[in-house]
Structure 1
């Protein structure tokens, strides 16, 4: 049984926020002390490491579920299916719906339920639920959808990854410059004409790694002491990812029976350009190979890190010809891979 992606869609917010928007921010260390550098230097170093020159923020009237709905509409249209035939809607996110100016995330009802409502799906057998799995959430949702279809529990599933991280960042934390907003969605179904998921691998490291990404107060004592923001131990995440993501990718590839030379593209979570380059280099080193030219599409330079949305939005861009230096043809083998809060790592080997 071939289980593959038959429809893809994304929503990229329209508000472009360039790096110079952070020039007037007062960045602080976690203890509230000041950096010993000017913001121009901090931003230059940030761009050199992450590759991010600008990012997208959601329009104030749109919440995460709205972004997911807009991406879902495109994916359903792209698949050419009747939405009433969907058996599952799986929405991967981390913070629920966030409203500008409010300090609480909203997950009641679930974001998947909200999307089903916005899609006007009447079929009660279409089950909607959320998944919180850090940045690898969308890939994990695809893995779950595949299992549902393979078991006979479903025929068509919609998997969404969406986030509005711009509403959960500490303006006094330089890591705030990494995060962005967006949503991507895919329809999966058993279809002989579709692509095919060949293998997958998932791992959770929850000992000393569990709190590499966490929730905490602002770096500034002048901010509301009860408000919490997304925080991360960047150096530890970098080292963790460079060790564990290549191993997960290799495990997945070996399970697939596909050779390393058959891999045409690697769609990796857009977290940090230097980190992604290091991961890919280490992955190919496992097989005694150099990294092939043009194997890794990137969108982080313009879109930033939108967590669960990065992989599906990147895939959508490539399939729609928005990254002309990259293309996919029927039969091409690609790898999806991600790492994030948990700490979770996963990968999929997929043949188009």
Structure 2
């Protein structure tokens, strides 16, 4: 696989109706006596195969101006027939480990945030084997576009509790596998990619300053990828085997998801800032799920941030689900935009419905 390294460029779309969401909010910075967490490495990888807006115009009734003006997306990267999500995650992980200056066998835990593993039973074990992390346990976290943020919080709790010292957190998705390429409302949005971060325990103050997380299953109908097929009894009269398992294409009620995101994302960031004891003015960078430029612009405006403070690679990669935040983060770190001591507001939102934010101090 030839991987494309990310760049900091422009942004895409996601949203739905919320009612009485289940809410999680806990201060992680105030737990005296616990270990702190620090991010020491970041890496990413995207397939070399690119679909431009003009390419999609050959498949569905659309054009570059229509897509760009509504989403901010110009290109997206997709796996070819010979590539796997595991190999994508492997290369992102190896780059993060290289930056961190540690070996894979020094890891204690691997968390893979994905909704599209190569194996239905999970991809973290495959990733563990591919990178040679023989001393680490690995498991998947499935929370779609919020997955990376939730995995980052989960990893920090393992570190702060003293259970793990070094953790690899990976966000990786290949939603092109579940797109109906005849449906212009969804096929224009999604691309494939992977991003990874390495966390370590530290006696210094924890880099995870605050968080806020929510779920609302009532909104699941607005964004989903449902199992299809008929349930078969174990023993059938004709002795036939069970029907092959399969999933439908991605379904999204675009307007509902958009309204959900515009309403919920700025609030969840403000809640995380409050949890951290910080003000909007303390934020140096906004690194959001790359879903729609208008959603990111709305969040930045509410937080009083300039467009220059919004990390965006949406125009190049589209919506890469759980990969989008670490993919964008890697680009901004490697091009020198994000520097040691900068305060970063991250926010993920999407299917579930789930939405979450963390406030992180870099370096």
Distance 2:227 2:57 in 1: 22
> In structure 2, do the counterparts of structure 1 residues 49 and 153 end up closer, same or farther at CA, with 3 Å as the change threshold?
same
Structure 1 position 136, deviation (Å): 0.8
1:140-219 alignment runs, 5 A limit = 140-174=150-184, 175-192=186-203, 196-207=207-218, 209-215=219-225
Match of 1:122 in 2: 134
Counterpart CA distance in 2 for 1:48 and 1:139 is 28
1:313 aligned onto 2:327? yes
Q: Are 1:261 and 2:261 matched, yes or no?
A: no
Once residues 132 and 227 of structure 1 are traced to their aligned partners in structure 2, the CA distance between those partners, rounded to angstroms, is: 16
Which of these residues, 295, 300, 319, is aligned with residue 314 of structure 2?
300
Once the two structures are TM-superposed, the CA of residue 316 in structure 1 deviates from its matched residue by 0.4
In 2, the alpha carbon distance for the partners of 1:244 and 1:238 equals 10
Gaps of 5+ in 2: 1-34, 229-245
| Correspondence 1:15 to 2:49 | yes
Aligned: 1:61 with 2:93? no
* Aligned-pair CA distance for 1:304: 0.8
Contact kept, 8 Å, 2:93 with 2:196, in 1: the verdict is yes
CA, structure 1 residues 227+308, in 2 after alignment: closer, same or farther (shift >3 Å)?
closer
CA distance in 1, matches of 2:334, 2:206: 16
Match of 2:111 among 68, 73, 90: 90
CA contact (8 A) 1:134 1:308 kept: yes
Q: CA separation in 2, counterparts of 1:22 and 1:217?
A: 27
Aligned to 1:29: none
Question: What is the match of residue 242 of structure 2?
Answer: none
CA distance in 2, matches of 1:47, 1:235: 17
Q: What is the alpha-carbon root mean square deviation over aligned residues? A: 1.9
Aligned length: 310
Shift in Å, 1:161: 0.7
- In 2: Cα distance, 1:194 partner to 1:217 partner: 44
TM-score, with normalisation over the residues of structure 1?
0.84
Q: Deviations over 1:328-349 (max 9, x none)?
A: 2222111010101001000110
Distance 1:281 1:227 in 2: 38
The answer to whether the 8 A contact 2:194-2:327 is kept is: yes
TM-score by length of 2: 0.81
| Shift, 1:144, TM fit | 0.2
Identify which of structures 1 and 2 has the higher relative contact order when contacts are C-alpha pairs closer than 8 Å and 6+ apart: 2
Partners of 1:227 and 1:54 lie apart in 2 by: 26
